[in-house]
Every structure is written in C-alpha cells, then in structure tokens.
C-alpha cells in the first residue's frame, strides 16, 4: 500500500471489472481521528465481497493499517472515508476521504422530506457500485426538493432509502424490513439497539407505502445522519408524535460512537 | 477531443458518478476501417442517456469525428471499439478499442452452451455500466463451461442474454421479447430483418424457460456474434432442426454490414 495524491486515485477505463461495476465499498465516519465501528464496516465489506464473488488479496489487517497510515499522514481528525475495492484478475484497492458529512440541526428538529421510488435493488445485502437506480431515484428526489428517496418493492413495502435504512414507530414497536431484504446498515444495528434500550420491540415488517400514516413517526438512519425524522413523504406530512424518541435514538447512536 | 495513451484513459475514484455507475456505453464493430451501423449505435447511445437522465455536451458529430480520428491515427482495420460516457457535473467521454472479437467456426457449426439466471435488469432499454448482475451471471456460466447466461424474469420468460438477445424458432415464426423488455440490440434489428427476408413472422413473445424444447431451435445475437445457435441450456440439449436457418440469418446479418 502506498499513499498517493487524490488525483492519482484512478481506474482504468479498459478494465472489464470497472466497466461492469464489479466493485464494493464502505463509507466510514472518522471523528477525532477515531474510525467509528471499523470492525463492523470491515465485516460488512467481507460480506459484500462474498455475496458477489469478489476475491481480493487485501486482508482486514491490510485495510485497517492503510486507513491508520492515511489518518496519521494527513493528520485526519473528522472525515468521511471511503474504502473501495474493484475485483477481477488484478484487484484494486483505494481509501479516499472527504470532509465529514454533517447536517444542519434543523434537519433533526424539523425533519427532512423523502420521495418514493418504485424499484428493487439487485443483491440488497451487498454494498456495491451497482448504484444506478439509487442515483436516479435520489436525483429525482432532489429535483422535488427532498433529501432522500425511499425504495418501494413490488409488494408495496418501503424497504430502505437510497443511502439509508427506513423505520416506522407504532405503539411500543419499531417496524423495519428484515435483514435479508436491505443493506444491513452499521448504524441500523445501533439504531435497533437504541430502540430496544428505549423500550421498543423490533418488528421486522417493513411499512407499506400506502399505510405510512398509520405510523406515529417514520425515520431513516445512516452513518452520516444517525437517526433522522421524516417530515414528508411524496409531499404528504408525516405524523410527529414519536419524534422526540427518534432524536433520543439519534443521541444514543452518537454516544456509542 | 484529444488522442491519449490507453493507460491515460482513467476515471477518478472520487467522482460520485463513477462511484454510482452513472454512465452509458456502446460496443462497436470495425471491419476494414469501417464502423458497422454507426448511426444506429449513436442513436441508441442517445436513448440510453435520455433514459437515465444523463446530460453531456458531446454531440453525435463530436463522437463520430473522434472515432474517425482514432481510426486514422492508429490505422485501425478490424477492431471492437467502445464509446463510454460518464455523467454528472463534469461529464467524461472516452473511445477505446481492442482486437476485433471473433469466435471459432465451431461455435456456429456446433452451437454454444448457455445457462439460465433468474434476475431482471434495471432499465433494460438503456446500455449502462450497471452490469453487476450480468457480470455475476456470466461468471457463473463460465464456471459451468457455458458461453452465455440467459436472464429469466419473474414470470419465467427468457428475455435476453447478459450480452446478447435471445430467440426461439417454431414453425414459420421467430419468437423474441418485446422491445421494451430488453436491450434493443443493433444486431437484433438486423436479425429480425433477416428472419423476415427468410420468410419468418416475428412474434414478440419471449420463450418461457420451461418450454424451451417446444422451439425447433434457439439462438442468440450480438454485435460480435451476429446470430449464433445454442446447443444446450442448463445442460439440456436444445433442438437443432432449424439450425441452418439460424446460420442463414447470421450470413445475411454479416452481409449487410
């Protein structure tokens, strides 16, 4: 492994694996020079590789050491880092970083808007570069002034966002998709743990897109946002009764980092 | 546009559009310095861009001129060329080329083997880099000693191959998927024209995976292969009664280049 300039981190256009998006990634949060939930991210990276049959020679220890060297070399305090591995006969491995992705307080106090997009991910449990649907859905959401697009499957279930997991609160339960239908967010693990700690049962049934108002609040989670309440979905105002509890989860998730 | 060395044709790892596979491409056949069906490829490229909302400043004339300059500069006679455009705020445009993709005569005289893969493409009409399913399906086919993997939709219809279109012959008709369910192969247009010329009716109903033996022959088509008969699917020998007519179509398609 070597440290190179960012503009030298490039992919060959003629690589078949680049052309076919045969690659996996992880997005990590670095705060105060500490990588949040690194072991979980490395584990999920291995799961992604396994699921799509991507074999590479970079051990978890190699990746961890490379990340440590990069943090030390650039004196990184707070950042969003990205581990990226391209498969094939000559696998490629990169770690890049950018400013820590944060959101204004108003996103939490006022909630954010989401849109619905009808479409199903291929191999939802693997975090791969096969992200065209997510790109298109999110661009469409942004055009409509929304922050996230939620993906609705053929049965009408809202499974997850383009870059987040999705939840509904009703009574003493948090509803969310089963593990094998969505990307198993590292923050999702923390959110569900926080929900349990706050006295919620976890029910692995995703909300339906036509029953969203039966939930007393709906919210999303991701590494960059922890837990964030949704104020509107496709223009319809969502209920806010349980919003304080969403923010309690957010605070617990951040505390555990 | 400028002519650069192939190893300088690279994509930045930190580009969001590279990360999300927000890109389109065309694979072209160059024989004797002549680009086969260039206008059709440029038209389909525009359709792909339109379908996924990819806006770029490269006109059809720009692309054609770049291709002509590349052919002249490297005195290209026979080759497979690839046009590749990445979208986003700073679109990227590349043309690369490699040896002309050809197959041994035995592939036509003996047919080739295919496997079945149950999965549906996102936006089948657009030729994008969102190809992970195709990559995985084809790798699995190769492991089983097959040449192509055929994609079967949720209803059991065999729509197309990972890099080919798919057809069945029964009586005086050629059966294939409707245009809006598959990639509209440039060679598919020629194949269907050849089939008409040979007296076949075209019926836009794809063969079902569990009724393949009701077809008197099945075959695939692509730019590199024209029309190629299938000898086995998932290990089951296919019928060969109409094989000569498949080869007649192949010869017509090549003649029209």
For residue B162, the chain A residues in CB contact (below 8 A) are none
- List the Cα angle A11/A14/A15 in 5-degree steps: 65
Q: For position A1, what pLDDT does the model report?
A: 82
Q: Do A13 and B12 touch (CB under 8 A)?
A: no
B254 pLDDT above the threshold of 90: yes
For the record, the structure tokens of B50 come out as 């339109």
Q: Is A188 left (phi over 0), alpha (psi -120 to 50) or beta?
A: alpha
**Mean pLDDT value across chain B:** 97
Chain segment B186-242, per-residue pLDDT in tens: 999 999 999 999 999 999 999 999 999 999 999 999 999 999 999 999 999 999 999
List Cβ neighbours of B120 (8 Å cut-off, separation of 6 or more).
B151, B153, B154
Residue B9's pLDDT band (cuts 50, 70, 90): very high
Say how many CA atoms lie within 13 Å of B201 toward its Cβ: 7
Q: For position B1, what pLDDT does the model report?
A: 82
CA dihedral B85, B26, B154, A208 (to 10 degrees): 10
Q: Does B1 touch chain A (CB under 8 A)?
A: no
Q: For position B217, what pLDDT does the model report?
A: 98
Q: Do B21 and A129 touch (CB under 8 A)?
A: yes
Segments of chain A with pLDDT less than 70: none
Q: For position A207, what pLDDT does the model report?
A: 98
Q: Is B88 left (phi over 0), alpha (psi -120 to 50) or beta?
A: left
Q: For position A71, what pLDDT does the model report?
A: 98
pTM (predicted TM-score): 0.96
Q: Do A20 and B132 touch (CB under 8 A)?
A: yes
What would the mean pLDDT of B135-152 be, rounded to a whole number?
98
Query: Is the Cβ–Cβ distance between B174 and B168 less than 8 Å?
Result: yes
Backbone φ and ψ of A4, nearest 5°: -125, 170
Query: Is the Cβ–Cβ distance between B49 and B63 less than 8 Å?
Result: no
For the record, the structure tokens of A151 come out as 């993906």
Q: For position A234, what pLDDT does the model report?
A: 98
**Nearest-Cα residue of chain B relative to residue A96:** B14
Chain segment A55-87, per-residue pLDDT in tens: 999 999 999 999 999 999 999 999 999 999 999
- Give the integer Cα–Cα distance in Å for B212 and A30: 55
Q: Do A22 and B96 touch (CB under 8 A)?
A: no
- ipTM > 0.85? yes
> Which contiguous run of DSSP H or E holds residue A248?
helix A243-255
Backbone φ and ψ of A136, nearest 5°: -65, -45
Q: Does B131 touch chain A (CB under 8 A)?
A: yes
């Amino acid at each position: 492994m070597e440290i190179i300039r960012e503009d030298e981190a490039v992919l060959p256009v003629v690589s078949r694996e680049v052309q076919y998006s045969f690659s996996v990634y992880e997005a990590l949060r670095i705060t105060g020079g500490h990588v949040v939930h690194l072991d979980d991210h490395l584990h999920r990276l291995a799961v992604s590789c396994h699921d799509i049959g991507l074999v590479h020679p970079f051990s978890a220890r190699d990746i961890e050491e490379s990340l440590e060297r990069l943090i030390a070399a650039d004196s990184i305090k707070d950042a969003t880092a990205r581990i990226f591995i391209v498969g094939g006969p000559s696998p490629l491995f990169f770690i890049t970083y950018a400013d820590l992705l944060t959101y204004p307080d108003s996103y939490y106090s006022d909630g954010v808007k989401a849109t619905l997009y009808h479409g199903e991910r291929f191999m939802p449990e693997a975090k791969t570069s096969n992200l065209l649907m997510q790109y298109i859905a999110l661009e469409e959401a942004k055009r409509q002034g929304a922050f996230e697009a939620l993906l609705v499957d053929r049965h009408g279930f809202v499974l997850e966002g383009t870059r987040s997991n999705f939840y509904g609160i009703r009574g003493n339960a948090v509803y969310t998709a089963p593990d094998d239908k969505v990307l198993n967010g590292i923050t999702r693990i923390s959110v569900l743990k926080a929900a349990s700690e706050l006295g919620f049962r976890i029910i692995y049934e995703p909300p339906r897109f036509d029953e969203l108002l039966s939930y007393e609040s709906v919210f999303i989670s991701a590494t960059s946002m922890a837990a964030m309440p949704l104020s509107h979905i496709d223009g319809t105002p969502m209920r806010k009764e349980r919003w304080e509890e969403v923010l309690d989860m957010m605070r617990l998730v951040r505390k555990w980092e």
